[in-house]
Amino acid sequence: MSSNNQNTQIAQGWSQHREGNYDGAIETFKQILQSDQNNLDAQYGLGIAQRAAGDTQNAIQSFQEGLKLLETMSSDEDSQENIDRYMMLKRMFSQRLEEAQSDAAN
């Protein structure tokens, strides 16, 4: 799948999410991940949509998968931009994971 097509699909998934079509968003993000299992944007969107749909356990798994993926990704370039993006994504996934785990505990 081309990068442009993935970006279009990601935009579609977020649009579905904003419209409250969480099942559609989940399906869209899953389709992206079927063709690119390393797509962090789709992994994050999937977790957000699952949580919004009330599927807390799968949201937790999605955020954990995103964190695992971040940990295993090796950066060929250790530029400040790459380090900043890594740290931002790690914070985002970690925060959402904590929120979903809190949901599950209540």
Per-residue pLDDT of the chain (106 residues), as tens digits, is 567 889 999 999 999 999 999 999 999 999 999 999 999 999 999 999 999 999 999 999 999 999 999 988 755 556 677 788 889 999 999 999 999 999 999 8
Looking at residue 84, its pLDDT comes to: 86
- Residue 29 C-beta-side C-alpha neighbours within 13 Å: 26
For tokens 């790690």, the residue is: 90
Looking at residue 1, its pLDDT comes to: 57
Residue spans per domain, the chain: 3-105
Query: Can you name the CATH fold of 3-105?
Result: 1.25.40
